[in-house]
Structure 1
Amino acid sequence: MLRFYKKLREKLKEGQTFVLMVLVKRRGSAPRDIGAKMALFENGQTFGTIGGGKVEALALEEAKKVLETGEGRLLEYTLTAKEVSEEGMLCGGEVSVLLDLWGKDKEEMLDELVKALEKGEELWLLLGLPPSLRGCLLVTKTEAFGNLEGIETKALDLFSITRPTLLEVGGKQLYVEPVLQEPTLYLFGAGHVSQEIAPLAKKVGFKVVVVDDRAEFANKERFPTADEIIVQDFEEASRNLPLGPQSYVVIVTRGHAHDYTVLKNVLGFATRYIGMIGSKRKRDIIFDKLKGEGVSEGLLSRVRSPIGIDIGAETPEEIAISIVAELIAFKNLMP
């Protein structure tokens, strides 16, 4: 998400007006979920996707008209039986796509949005749905940027909204989306499996941080796609990293002792995911030791071990695929 908004900001600074396309409503089958985004720039370039196929093609044609007229609109589309078959879906679906024109007046808001995401701050994006409501607003815990005439944000209880949703306020429709910090994968251990996990996780949208106490393993030559490489003692690193609700921890160190150390420390953080490589026997040994030290069953139940989706993986490449598939499932499917 940070990459998407950085691209929008970059284009605005170049003087490129664009149409922001957001999938704001879905019923039945659709290629993407609510919140999927795409931008059409003045020069004809696009960035992002709302799922491809007929819906995206139609939205792009309508977006061209928005660039010409300067007036946003709400596109509502129903997939027919024939289109459903062509899209490879089992049943019909209805989607609504907001087409919102963004120009120079949104530059400050985009700046603040990117800054907040980079700092890991919480914020909410509010978009009016035409014709009943137009405009947009960016709300942080302390400030608001943009304009949505007649909407009192204090009455919306925004801070309790954790997923994209549609609201009706005084007969006007409003799309509200919590803009989440980029999901960050912390790879503890810089061995062969981590080498395969890192580029794969990066491709599917994770910021990747590699942690190991050996500089000859944790370096840019071995991990060219990693966003950050930390060469530090596992004990210190696992205690002091800024782990939070958008953090995913994968423990693949070179030995049981290091796995135990990392797991013991990261269990104290409210992370989205914790997974530890190894057999059930190894897991039970580490779990028994932690339980003997007072760690509750509830905390240990959060740990995915053996790690990854069971696909009979054997090679480092196959193991990486199974682990990243599980990360995607936790990112997209878990409440």
Structure 2
Amino acid sequence: MEDMYSILDAIRPGMTGGVLATVIRVDGSAYKKEGAAMFFKPDGTRIGLLSAGCLEEDLAARIENGFGRKPETIVYDMRRDDDLSWGTGSGCNGAVHVYVEPVGRRYAAHLLRLKTFLQSGTAVTGIKFPDSGAYLFVTEDGHRFGSYQGEMGFVHYLPVKNGTFFLPVMQEEVYIHHYRPKPRFILFGAGKDAAPLAALAAKTGFSVIVSDWRPGLCSRQNFPDAEELVVGFPSEVFAESRITIAPNDFVMIMTHHFSRDQEILTHVMQTNPRYLGVLGSMKRTKRLLGMEKLPPGIRTPAGLAIAAEGPEEIAVSIIAECIKLKNEPVSEEVLL
């Protein structure tokens, strides 16, 4: 899950006094990898996580004593097991490089702009320059903003992975992080077994949309973590474009109503989403489509095969399957 989603929600216009800490490099193994982030709000509240709890207290104490008033990096070496090292009892066996930046009004404004682009469905690449303390954001459609004022030609040759890289054209090490909009998890069906699924999807970094024709079920009371509730029959929802399925969407069908599931599945199949799950047996799904052999890409029964029982365990199996698909490595190509 992207820590930055939660951090961006905590940024306010004109904010000053906050500190953003980011893991920019890991040598060896660690609980969290490059991109893990934590925001220390001016009142001391923390958002995000850098480790399994090994580093946060020390970093918080350093920040209270003035660390982070300017951009700087601290290395926590957990590869040793003596009493003076960070390896004691952690089991991580790695060195974690944490880059710390003060968040003033200008940086807060740029972070809010980053949030706006992500909410609009636009991917953004963030570049940090630890040597100078500068930063730059570049959207997939070419908008650029940040404190960096140097030559920009290098942005066309950035690797697609997150991490710290030496760029020959810059003769400098930079940290690169590709921020992508939250993947959408579209849940058709608002029964009692859908509630734990929607809640877990939201907690693991998905933007959740729940749709059902029954307003008594499709309610904020039942789905407090959903970003959108769409009440209406499938024919209405699709005809009025109240829900449009995109190639990167994750779709789950579980209305427990045969004809409604049939209508939804027939429509969604034509849109080719990233994930298409149907609750129930393969035999039932074949009946929904009137086919002896299902088209590729339909997950039925949905979820990883962990012998799940009950709504909560089934939710875990489905979201685990979605996370596995979401986190598949991307190809080695230039993003911008």
TM exceeding 0.5:
yes
**SS of the residue 1:157 aligns to:** helix
How many Å separate the matches in 2 of 1:204 and 1:139? 26
**SS of the residue 1:53 aligns to:** coil
**SS of the residue 1:307 aligns to:** coil
- The answer to whether 1:274 aligns with 2:276 is yes
How many Å separate the matches in 2 of 1:35 and 1:227? 24
How many Å separate the matches in 1 of 2:206 and 2:308? 22
- The answer to whether 1:6 aligns with 2:16 is no
* Paired position in structure 1 for 2:89: 86
Alignment coverage as a number of residue pairs = 318
- The answer to whether 1:139 aligns with 2:138 is yes
Of 34-43 and 77-86, deviating more is 77-86
Alpha-carbon distance, 1:186 to partner: 0.7
Check conservation: 2:210, 2:226, Cα contact below 8 A: yes
Q: Mark the runs of 5 or more structure 1 residues left unpaired by the alignment.
A: 292-296
How many Å separate the matches in 1 of 2:8 and 2:68? 24
How many Å separate the matches in 1 of 2:67 and 2:182? 33
Q: 1:270 to 1:283 in 2, by over 3 A?
A: closer
Check conservation: 1:246, 1:271, Cα contact below 8 A: yes
Q: Deviations over 1:10-64 (max 9, x none)?
A: 2x53x43222111112233211122111012343332211123333344434444
* Paired position in structure 1 for 2:311: 316
How many Å separate the matches in 1 of 2:238 and 2:181? 20
* Paired position in structure 2 for 1:307: 302
* Paired position in structure 2 for 1:294: none
Q: Mark the runs of 5 or more structure 2 residues left unpaired by the alignment.
A: 331-336
How many Å separate the matches in 1 of 2:163 and 2:272? 24
- The answer to whether 1:112 aligns with 2:107 is no
More helix by percentage: 1
How many Å separate the matches in 2 of 1:39 and 1:19? 6
Of 315-324 and 264-273, deviating more is 264-273
Task: Spell out the pairing of 1:284-295 with structure 2 (5 A cutoff).
Answer: 284-286=286-288, 289=291
Using the size of structure 1 for normalisation, the TM-score is 0.83
Check conservation: 1:21, 1:100, Cα contact below 8 A: yes
* Paired position in structure 1 for 2:254: 252
- Percent identity among equivalent residues? 26
Q: Among residues 320, 323, 326, which one is paired with 1:328 in the alignment?
A: 323
**SS of the residue 2:89 aligns to:** helix
How many Å separate the matches in 2 of 1:272 and 1:85? 42
Check conservation: 2:6, 2:47, Cα contact below 8 A: no
Q: 1:261 to 1:69 in 2, by over 3 A?
A: closer
Using the size of structure 2 for normalisation, the TM-score is 0.82
- Alignment RMSD (CA, Å): 2.8
Check conservation: 1:17, 1:104, Cα contact below 8 A: no
